[in-house]
Structures are given as C-alpha cells and as structure tokens.
Amino acid sequence: MNRRNDSLALFAHDGELICGVDEAGRGPLAGAVFAAAVILDPARPIEGLRDSKKLTEARRNELAEQIKARALAWSVAQCSELEIDALNILQATMLAMRRAVEGLHPAPTLALIDGNRCPVMPVRSEAIVKGDDTVPAISAASILAKTARDAALMQLHQQYPHYAFDQHKGYPTALHLERLRLHGVSPVHRKSYAPVRELLDLPAPQPHTK
C-alpha cells in the first residue's frame, strides 16, 4: 500500500516503531547487493537527508556518520554475487532487505520500503515509490546502503585492481566492459548477468516462476 506524501511522517502511526529500508547495487555486474534499514530518532534530527544518488560522495559519507551516531537503530546487510546468481537479483535484493530489517535492535513494528514491492518478513511493511527522496528514514537507509557498497567495491579494487572497480563501482560502463574483455571474469562478477554470462558462454538463466 502506498501512502500520500503528506502523511509520510517519521512516526505516521501512534505507537509504531518505523524503519526505512532501501538497497544499493542491483545494476552492477560485480559484487554484492546491499540493503540498509534505519530507525531514526525524532529527538536527534539529521538535516539534508535525501536520495543518496542526489548527493555527492563527500556529503553521503558525512551523512552516513551522522546516521550511525544519531539513529535509534541501523543495520546494513547484503547478498553475495553467488546468491544473486542462484536466486536472481530481485529475490536477492528482497533477501538483503529482510536481513537488514532483522538486524535492527529494537525491532521495528513497520518497515517502509523504497520501491513498489516488499520482501516477505515477519514485520509489517509498506512499499513507497520514490520513498528514498520523500521519507527521511528511507533516505537514511539509501545513504547507508550506498556508502557501504561503495566501500566494499573499493576493497574489491584492492583485490582486483585491473578491473578499475574504484572508478565504476561494478556498473557496466565502457571501461568496465573493456576490462572484462581484456582480463576475463573474476570470482566476484555476477555470472547470471548477460555481459558476464556471454563471456563465459553460459546458457541464459531460466525465468523463475515464483
């Protein structure tokens, strides 16, 4: 169920403990997909929360530190490239979101999910399209997921410097595709993604019926 934007307060219902949830890294050809869940503290507001994609890297990192310091609870989780290949990216993203919510202490009573669908989990949830730019808790989750994934890709760059993960963060840029063709597929590439799969000459994955 989607809410109207003017009702998207931090605590939209009396007695609820609400978390925002968002993901980062569905499109890249390499690395894990990350998700974060955040319960903001209304007594410790954070100025400037918005969709992480609309912030500079420096501002994202600054806000991430504030979120971790001021939130009532926050959690970051991931699904590996092996899980992505086994489940498909949609189901892996849903699993990462569920893991993030399950990592919150105290546990929320309602999860507001960015997008148009919710993961299956014990906590009640509502999907909010473009929530990462309208709901502060989802914006905070967007920032934590993005900064965590960027940090992970910088670590992968240390392991596999010839792929230039520090420049494209795993996304299918011309540079990344060039390095893939030159150096082949690494252990952290998503083998179910077409540009990688084609280099390995693997059959296309069968569509999931669920």
The residues spanned by each domain of the chain are 5-200
How do strand 33-39 and strand 124-128 relate by DSSP bridges?
unpaired
Whole-angstrom distance, CA of residue 15 vs CA of residue 202: 52
pLDDT digit string, tens, across residues 78-117: 999 999 999 999 999 999 999 999 999 999 999 999 999 9
In order of 62, 92, 121, 205, the CA distances from 89 in angstroms are 29, 5, 18, 12
Determine which helix (DSSP H) or strand (DSSP E) holds 76, and give its type and residue range. Answer: strand 73-79
Buried b / exposed e across 168-190, counting CB within 10 Å, b at 16+? bbbebeeebeebbeeeebbebbb
Whole-angstrom distance, CA of residue 80 vs CA of residue 31: 7
Kindly report the pTM of this predicted structure.
0.90
Could you give the residue ranges of the DSSP H alpha helices within the chain? 57-70, 81-87, 89-102, 136-159, 165-168, 174-183, 194-200
Q: What local confidence, expressed as pLDDT, does residue 15 receive? A: 78
Q: Is 5-200 assigned to CATH 3.30.420.10?
A: yes
Which segment of 9-23, 30-44, 78-92 scores lowest on mean pLDDT? 9-23
Taking Cα atoms as reference points, which of 21, 33, 22 lies closest to residue 170? Answer: 33
Categorize the per-residue pLDDT at 6 as very low, low, confident or very high, splitting at 50, 70 and 90: very low
Which segment of 143-147, 174-178, 206-210 scores lowest on mean pLDDT? 206-210
In order of 44, 171, 187, the CA distances from 72 in angstroms are 9, 33, 37
Q: With H, G, I as helix, E, B as strand and everything else as coil, classify residue 4.
A: coil
Taking Cα atoms as reference points, which of 130, 104, 123 lies closest to residue 16? Answer: 123
